[in-house]
Amino acid sequence: MRRYLGRKLLIYLLTFFVAVTIDWLIPRFMPGNPVDTMLARMALRADSAEVLRSYYIRAFKLDLPLWQQYLNFWAALFRGDLGISTWLFPQPVFQIIKRAVPYDLFLLLPAIILSWIAGNRVGAIAARVRWLDNTILPLGYILTASPYMWLAIVLAWALGNVAGIFPIAGAYGFGLRPHLSWLFIKDLLWHWFLPFSSLFLVMFGGWAIGMRNMIIYELESEYSRYLESLGTPQRLIRKYAFRNAMLPQITGLALQLGGIVAGALATEIVFAYPGIGYMILNAVQNQDYFLIQGCFLFIITGVLLANFIIDLVYIVVDPRTRLGMTGE
């Protein structure tokens, strides 16, 4: 057990190191540099631009040799310092992420978990109820195949622009000051509903189809047939099938949760919802090395952590893993 976990942990640390290095390296392969992009946006007179350019290049330590910048990056990372954003100058990257993450959690956590629960339930039922299978399956395929962006635009157009029921942008009404009251909470939820629905619907389709196919596969596997030939009641067989079919779904859920902060990029852009996805897009467009690094660091950590948790969960839910460990 300890050896198993130890080895896993080592692999994760190694992956982390490599991933973070790549994360550091890739933005630097882009032509140009963040300071020039920042100055281009200012559209200053050339003499002012030159003064600021030399200042910021020094301030952001971009004049150092690359290897030194790399070492500085790790040193700063261990101090918990992710640097200062050039796009959102002069805000520290950590602050920006801290303010954006709640929007993502608020949007994605309910969408992922509710769609997972509902998708699995409905998928499992669909596997054995013919009329439901005939409706859910095509609907599921349509939903899961529709790009988030497209579904979001359709929802915004139909329910926002045409029907005028829901607002089409922002996290809460532009005429509202954030404060604790029913008025504000209602407004927040009202703005949240469309982005949430667009994510929920697409994810729901995916989970439902996955579960349905898995159940059918399990019901046709040898252990089910064996149970059937022993005369086991259908309910019990289904229960076993459901449990086995759950395993890949759990992996899927954990991976979705791990990548949570990046999951809603398209949706956030369509609804002007200020989460991490929106930050990443802009950071890349503005060559903001520091914000790109920071956002992806969050994603890398999230994915690795989720994987590690799956490993732990599997020990509990999948006896084969435990068997493998004792067999070592």
Partner 1 sequence: MRGSKFLTVVGLLTIAALVLAACQPATVEVTRIVTEEKEVEVTRIVAGTPVVEVVTATPAPAEEAEVTYPRNETLYTSGKQWGPPTSWNPLQPGSYAMGVIGLCNETLFLYDPLKNEYIPWLAESGDWVGDNVYEVKLRQGVQWSDGEPFTSADVVYTFELGKLDGVYYKPLWDWLDKVEAVDEYTVQFTFKEVRYQEWGNTLYSVAMVPKHLWEGRSEEDIVNGDNLPPVGTGAYLYETHSEDRMVWKRNEGWWAKDALGLSVGPKYIVDIVNPSNNVALGLFLKGEMDLSNNFLPGIATLVEGGYGVQTWYDDPPYMLSANTAFLFMNTTKKPMDDPAFRKAMAYAVDVDEIVTKVYGNIVQKCNPTGLLPVWEQYVDQDVVDELGFTYDPDKARSILAEAGYQDVDGDGFVEAPDGSKIELKIIVPFGWTDWMESIKVVANGAQAVGINLQPDFPDFGGYWDQLTGGTFDMAINNFGSNMSDTPWTFYFWLFRNPITDVMSNGNFGRYDNPEVFDLVVELDKTPIDPEAMKPVIAEIQRIQLTDMPAVPLWYNGLWAQWNSTYWTNWPSAQEGAPKYLPCTWNGYWNMTAILMLTELEPVQ
State which residue, 89 or 217, has the beta carbon closest to partner 1.
89
CA 132, CA 122: separation in Å to the nearest integer? 9
Could you say which of 3, 67, 79, 90 contacts partner 1 (CB under 8 A)?
90
Could you say which of 1, 22, 102, 243 contacts partner 1 (CB under 8 A)?
102
Residue 185 has which token pair? 């909470």
Residue 283 has which token pair? 């950071």
Q: Which of 278, 313, 328, 320 is nearest to 99 (CA)?
A: 278
Q: Kindly state the smallest distance separating residue 72's Cβ from partner 1, in Å.
A: 18
> 3-class DSSP state for residue 84?
strand
Interaction between residue 193 and partner 1 (CB under 8 A):
yes
- Range in contact with partner 1 (rule: CB under 8 A) among 69-77, 227-235, 251-259, 280-288: 280-288
DSSP codes, 103-139 = HHHHHHHHHHHHHHHHHHHHHHHHTT-HHHHHHHHHH
- Range in contact with partner 1 (rule: CB under 8 A) among 11-19, 31-39, 63-71, 227-235: 31-39
Interaction between residue 9 and partner 1 (CB under 8 A):
no
CA 24, CA 172: separation in Å to the nearest integer? 35
> 3-class DSSP state for residue 41?
helix
Q: Kindly state the smallest distance separating residue 70's Cβ from partner 1, in Å.
A: 20
Q: Kindly state the smallest distance separating residue 306's Cβ from partner 1, in Å.
A: 19
Which residues in the 215-274 window bind partner 1 by CB under 8 A? 269-272, 274
Which residues in the 286-325 window bind partner 1 by CB under 8 A? 286-287
Could you say which of 7, 61, 99, 239 contacts partner 1 (CB under 8 A)?
99
Could you say which of 4, 28, 36, 251 contacts partner 1 (CB under 8 A)?
36
Q: Kindly state the smallest distance separating residue 242's Cβ from partner 1, in Å.
A: 24
Interaction between residue 129 and partner 1 (CB under 8 A):
no
Spatial neighbors of 11 by CB under 8 A, at least 6 apart, are none
State which residue, 133 or 318, has the beta carbon closest to partner 1.
133
Q: H or E segment at 171?
A: none
- Range in contact with partner 1 (rule: CB under 8 A) among 94-102, 217-225, 241-249, 295-303: 94-102
Which residues in the 132-191 window bind partner 1 by CB under 8 A? 134-135, 138-139, 153, 156, 159-161, 163-166, 168-171, 173-181, 183-188, 190
Q: Kindly state the smallest distance separating residue 191's Cβ from partner 1, in Å.
A: 10
Binding mask 39-68 for partner 1 (x = CB under 8 A): xxxxxxxxxxxxxxx-xx--x---------
**Across-strand partners of 84?**
92
| Helix boundaries (H) for 43-92 | 46-59, 66-78
CA 242, CA 99: separation in Å to the nearest integer? 40
Question: What are phi and psi for residue 252, nearest 5 degrees?
Answer: -60, -45
CA 291, CA 86: separation in Å to the nearest integer? 8
State which residue, 105 or 312, has the beta carbon closest to partner 1.
105
**Across-strand partners of 92?**
84
State which residue, 173 or 252, has the beta carbon closest to partner 1.
173
CA 279, CA 327: separation in Å to the nearest integer? 47
Could you say which of 12, 15, 26, 37 contacts partner 1 (CB under 8 A)?
37
